[in-house]
Amino acid sequence: MSKTEKEKMLAGEPYSGADPQLVAERLHARELCRAIAELPSQAPEAERSDLLKQLFGAATDAYITPPFFCDYGRNIELGKGVYFNFNCVLLDCAKISIGDHVLFGPAVQIYTASHPMDAAERRSGLEFAKPIAIGNDVWLGGGVVVCPGVTIGAGTVIGAGSVVLRDIPAGVLAAGNPCRVIREL
């Protein structure tokens, strides 16, 4: 029995993003993100919680300052007390694991999605994804970009505007493009 495109995607294998099931799931996530963005500031917490549960597939106490964008939502695993500032983008074609008390500055972008380096392969429409893991008590400053396959250790601070291409250990301040360890915390 052959794998579905979704199974291939989640396994990190080449898959077609144009697969009807994946397209439908992305459109559903966009509608939920739009609904979250359109909630009045005085909306009952139960209404906000219900939308977040629909988006992420589990109850969460995460706080999202809209707008917020993601591909699927269901591939994002959130710890306790996670905060997303304005304009965060999470391309969750693979699992994104986020620990407890993680802070996302404005315009943080988390990308699990990638494309082949070879142009002919890119033209085929196939893509792939690599999971990202962010430990407890991490702070990602405004405009940080985290690339596919990266792990960021607990208690680390990533400086604003950094592009994280490689794993960053726990308990450090890291910054730059490419992001590198500046000092231990």
Q: What is the pLDDT of residue 151?
A: 98
Residue ranges, the chain, pLDDT below 50: none
* DSSP 8-state assignment for residue 179: T
Distance CA 125, CA 184 (A): 42
Residues in the chain: 185
- Whole-model pTM: value is 0.96
Distance CA 18, CA 167 (A): 30
The answer for residues whose C-beta is within 8 angstroms of residue 118's C-beta and 6 or more apart is: none
Catalytic positions are 115
Q: What is the pLDDT of residue 101?
A: 98
Q: What is the pLDDT of residue 41?
A: 87
Tokens (6 digits) for 180: 């590198």
- Are the CB atoms for 36 and 48 separated by under 8 Å? yes
Distance CA 122, CA 4 (A): 20
Which of 144, 153, 145, 147 shows the shortest CA–CA distance to 130? Answer: 147
The answer for residues whose C-beta is within 8 angstroms of residue 142's C-beta and 6 or more apart is: 85, 105, 106, 107, 108, 160, 161
Distance CA 13, CA 30 (A): 24
